[in-house]
Amino acid sequence: MKVRLSLLMALAAGLAPADAQLTKSQRAEAERVPALTVPSPAEFFAAIDKAGKPDWMSFYRAPAPVIYPTRMRSALNLGALVTDGYVAVEAQDGQQVKNTGKDIIALARSLGVGEDVLMRGKSITDFADKNDWFALREELEATTNEVRRAIMAQRDQSLAVLITVGAWLRALEVGSRAAELNGEETSADLLRQRELIAFLRSEVQGSADKARDEAVVQRTETTLVAVEEQMTVPEEEKLSPERVLAIKQTAGTFVADMAAKEE
């Protein structure tokens, strides 16, 4: 059976903001950032694992910096780091999960989130020591949503969107590499996430921030447009190896460039 994640599935399975923790005005801002309803890359990776059982450790990347010149780049890299955490969980590599968790907390701290979020770093370490992979997936997702809620409470809704964008572009880089190595149509078909990418692109375009980094926003929008085009084929057609490679290169180049240390 063909396995696909669609935006409708994402909305049905998503997480809603904790309204009780926000004021009326903050809820109004939060309602403009439905990125919280997007499924986590963990769901995507679970489907990839069923399709081909990849060597998850082969998708690790070199450690990225945890200090960036703008908050928008920090948000994108935080999202990518969370996805790295999910990769380490799929690899059942407790030490890598702990290393990634420390970097996630460091980047979250740079965005000014509260101590409640920072305390989750200890939970990640504890679950990694116990090899509790299910709990780790849930803890990574909870940590990400706590960071998003804290950022939205600061009225930085554009950053909450970019965390999700960073997470999914890194996930697509990993997923397209897995499909490339697997060579199976089912693996490639999992990359058909056009509705999700279009949704994220519209959120980036609709968000506003006084500290907006126009170069980063423009690059993000351009990348999302390119990825959406690369994964768009008629329903009856399969994604070709050339399109899979293009998705990997576009998403991977963006993730690498956003993570690159400033000269």
Predicted confidence (pLDDT) per residue in 195-212, tens digit:
999 999 998 988 766 456
What is the residue extent of each domain of the chain? 7-15+31-259
Band of pLDDT at residue 37, cut at 50, 70 and 90: low
Contacts of 194 by beta carbon, 8 Å cutoff, 6+ apart: 228, 231, 232
- What's the pLDDT at 76? 95
- What's the pLDDT at 250? 98
Whether residue 154 has pLDDT greater than 50: yes
> Are the CB atoms for 31 and 152 separated by under 8 Å?
no
> Are the CB atoms for 73 and 256 separated by under 8 Å?
no
CA-based radius of gyration for the chain = 17
Angle at 262 between CA 257 and CA 263, to 5 degrees: 115
> Are the CB atoms for 81 and 107 separated by under 8 Å?
yes
Predicted confidence (pLDDT) per residue in 84-118, tens digit:
999 999 999 999 999 999 999 889 888 888 676 77
- What's the pLDDT at 212? 63
- What's the pLDDT at 150? 83
Q: Is the pTM of this model over 0.75?
A: yes
